Amino acid sequence: NAGVTQTPKFQVLKTGQSMTLQCAQDMNHEYMSWYRQDPGMGLRLIHYSVGAGITDQGEVPNGYNVSRSTTEDFPLRLLSAAPSQTSVYFCASSSGGARQPQHFGDGTRLSIL
């Protein structure tokens, strides 16, 4: 089972560039979410989706966009990259919403120069 698959694994961007981080899950989970992980900060929720066509903001949504056109895919877009967005990004999914344990991908390590 693939579980949650994130691509790319690593990326270096210049300030002002845009890019899309891809996330796909094959567990037919309705709930999907994006987190960023920074040293000393723990995982912080960026955006989440409770199903296709429905998205909402998390704790730190500024500078990021999401869409959910299918159950399987939940891409995260950086509109104009800033050095403060240098982080490790994790996508997660759950069968029972935010209250249930999350299944995580292995992350995308993003550096903004």
Partner 1 sequence: QKEVEQDPGPLSVPEGAIVSLNCTYSNSAFQYFMWYRQYSRKGPELLMYTYSSGNKEDGRFTAQVDKSSKYISLFIRDSQPSDSATYLCAMNNNDMRFGAGTRLTVKP
Q: What angle do CA 63, 60, 30 make, to 5 degrees?
A: 100
Contact positions with partner 1 (CB under 8 A) in 5-34: 33
CB of 16 to partner 1, least distance (A): 28
Contact between residue 111 and residue 11 where contact means Cβ atoms under 8 Å apart: yes
Contact positions with partner 1 (CB under 8 A) in 60-89: none
Give the pair of three-digit tokens for residue 104. 């995580």
CB of 107 to partner 1, least distance (A): 6
Answer for which of 27, 43, 50, 82 binds partner 1 (CB under 8 A) is 43
CB of 70 to partner 1, least distance (A): 21
Contact between residue 46 and residue 92 where contact means Cβ atoms under 8 Å apart: no
State the distance between the two ends of the chain, measured CA to CA, in whole angstroms.
36
Q: Is 4 near partner 1 (CB under 8 A)?
A: yes
